[in-house]
Amino acid sequence: MIGAACPQTGQTVGLLSPQINAQVMNVFFEQFAAEVDPNTHVVMIWDQAGFHCAKALRLPANVTILPLPAYSPELNPIENLWHYLRSHHWSNRAYADYDALREAACDAWQTTCLDSELIKSVCNAPYLGEREVES
């Protein structure tokens, strides 16, 4: 699962893929660009995984990447969402096959991520604070 969540609004964008690489990330960004207001500037916080740093990435014009220091997942608000999904939906379960796993992942994402108040709570990052940028 690839995802982005806004701790301020509770909006989420997700993509399920059996693998993650620069090509898949570009598909995610195409979807992201289609779902986020192009007049809203987004700062996306993420780690420095290889597919996050690939030169082939095509970021939407309204996205700025804020890379985290190495080995600091506790600073990434989306990590709280992954923990929530694992603890409430994904862990300690057996799936009959890939299709059952895919369906469970999608169901969990929709159940959780369509609840904007839950996302605001789970992805809350007090160190970010409420900031509005004036142009």
Closest CA to 61 of 31, 35, 24, 29: 29
- Asked if residue 133 has pLDDT above 50, the reply is no
Which tokens is 93 given?
Answer: 């379960």
Interval 80-103: pLDDT, tens: 999 999 999 988 899 999 999 999
- Residue 17 backbone dihedrals phi, psi, to 5 degrees: -145, 145
Rounded mean pLDDT, 30-42:
93
**pTM above the 0.95 mark?**
no
Residue 2: which pLDDT band, with cuts at 50, 70 and 90? Answer: very high
- pLDDT for 81 equals 96
Residue 50: which pLDDT band, with cuts at 50, 70 and 90? Answer: low
CA distance 54 to 63: 16
Closest CA to 52 of 33, 76, 74, 36: 76
Which tokens is 9 given?
Answer: 């609004």
